[in-house]
C-alpha cells in the first residue's frame, strides 16, 4: 500500500491522532502526514502511506485557509483552546476600519509564532515551555502571504471576520489573528480554522474517516498515485540503459536544459521510479538518485 491520501481532519483531533486512527483503519504502520494542523482546525491533512512517506519533503508548499477571527478576546494560545487573558467589547469595530490593516500582512513579512506552538527552542517545543509558565523570547521568522480575501463579517459585541488566506509553509494563522487585533487595539483570537489547500491537495477532494472506512468495506478505496502530488517538480524521462544505471545509484549525464534541484523521474516504460537531484561536475550536468521508489 503505497500512495497519498487527502484526509479531511476533524476537529479535536491532533495530526498524530489522525495517523494513529488511519493505521488501524488501513492496517498498515508506515504512515506520515504532510503538515501539522492544530486540534481546533479542520480540513486538508495530506497523508503519506508506505513509500510515499519518502516523498513528503518534495510536495508543493502552498497552503490556503478559511479563518474566523473573533475580536475583543485575547487568549494564551491565540485561539479558543487557550485561557482568556482579556475580554473587551469591540461593538464599535467595523469592517471599514479593519480592511486597510489587512494589507500589512501581504507579502514576505516577519511573524512571531504563538507561544503555544510546536516550534523548538534549545531542543524544547515552545508549548512545553509555555505550559511550565516560562517566559519565552520567541524569535520572529519570515513567512509569505500571497493573498487575503474577506469572506464575511458579523457585527456584535465580539464581532467576527471570515478570511481566506493563501500563504507559504510555516505561516501561523493564529498569529495573523493576534496581530490584527493588536493593530486595531481591540485584541483578537482565532475562533475557527479550515485548511482548504495543502501539498497540492484541495478540500473538495478530501475524505473523512467515515468515507475511508466505507470505501474500504466496498473495496472502492484507492490511494493517490505516488507521483500525482509532485507535479510541482519538472519531469525527466530516462531510456532503458539510463533507467537501469539510475536505479543502481549511478549518475547520469543530462544534456537537457535543466536547472532545478529535484526532478520527477520516469523510466523507459514511463513508470515513476523516484526523485533525481541535479549535480554539477565541472561544466557537466548530472542527475543522481535522491529517492528510488522502484
The one catalytic residue in 2, 17, 38, 241 is: 38
In this structure, which CATH number among 3.30.70.260, 3.30.70.100, 3.30.2350.10, 2.30.30.240 belongs to the domain 63-198?
Answer: 3.30.2350.10
- Residue 79, pLDDT score: 94
- Residue 7, pLDDT score: 98
Q: Chunk the chain into consecutive blocks of 10 residues (it has 294) and report each block's average pLDDT, rounded to whole numbers.
A: 96 94 95 90 97 96 97 94 94 97 97 73 55 66 97 97 96 96 97 96 97 93 95 94 94 82 95 94 89 90
CATH number for the domain running over 3-60+200-217: 3.30.2350.10
- Residue 255, pLDDT score: 76
Residue among 65, 170, 183, 197 nearest 110 (CA): 170
- Residue 139, pLDDT score: 83
Annotated catalytic, 227? no
User: What does pTM read for this prediction?
Assistant: 0.89
In this structure, which CATH number among 1.20.58.220, 2.30.130.10, 1.20.1440.230, 2.40.50.140 belongs to the domain 233-292?
Answer: 2.30.130.10
Amino acid at each position: 500500500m503505497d500512495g497519498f491520501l487527502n484526509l479531511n481532519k476533524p476537529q479535536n483531533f491532533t495530526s498524530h491522532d489522525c495517523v494513529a486512527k488511519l493505521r488501524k483503519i488501513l492496517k498498515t504502520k508506515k504512515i506520515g502526514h504532510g503538515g501539522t494542523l492544530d486540534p481546533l482546525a479542520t480540513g486538508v491533512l495530506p497523508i503519506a502511506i508506505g513509500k510515499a512517506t519518502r516523498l513528503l519533503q518534495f510536495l508543493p508548499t502552498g497552503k490556503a485557509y478559511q479563518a474566523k477571527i473573533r475580536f475583543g478576546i485575547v487568549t494564551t494560545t491565540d485561539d479558543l483552546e487557550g485561557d482568556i487573558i482579556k475580554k473587551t467589547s469591540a461593538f464599535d469595530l467595523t469592517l471599514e476600519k479593519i480592511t486597510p490593516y489587512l494589507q500589512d500582512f501581504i507579502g514576505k513579512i516577519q511573524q512571531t509564532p504563538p507561544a503555544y506552538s510546536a516550534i523548538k527552542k534549545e531542543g524544547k517545543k515552545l508549548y512545553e515551555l509555555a505550559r511550565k509558565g516560562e517566559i519565552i523570547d520567541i524569535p520572529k521568522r519570515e513567512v509569505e502571504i500571497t493573498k487575503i480575501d474577506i469572506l464575511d463579517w458579523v457585527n456584535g459585541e465580539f464581532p467576527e471576520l471570515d478570511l481566506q488566506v493563501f500563504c507559504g509553509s510555516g505561516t501561523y494563522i493564529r498569529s495573523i489573528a493576534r496581530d490584527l487585533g493588536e493593530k486595531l487595539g481591540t485584541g483578537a483570537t482565532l475562533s475557527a480554522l479550515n485548511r482548504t489547500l495543502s501539498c497540492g491537495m484541495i478540500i473538495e477532494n478530501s475524505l473523512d474517516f467515515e468515507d475511508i472506512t466505507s470505501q474500504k468495506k466496498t473495496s472502492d478505496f484507492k490511494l493517490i498515485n505516488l507521483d500525482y502530488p509532485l507535479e510541482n517538480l519538472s519531469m525527466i524521462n530516462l531510456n532503458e540503459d539510463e533507467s537501469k544505471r539510475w536505479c543502481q545509484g549511478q549518475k547520469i549525464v543530462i544534456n537537457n536544459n535543466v536547472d532545478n534541484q529535484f526532478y520527477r523521474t520516469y523510466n523507459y516504460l514511463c513508470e515513476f521510479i523516484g526523485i533525481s537531484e541535479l549535480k554539477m561536475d565541472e561544466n557537466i550536468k548530472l542527475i543522481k538518485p535522491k529517492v528510488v521508489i522502484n
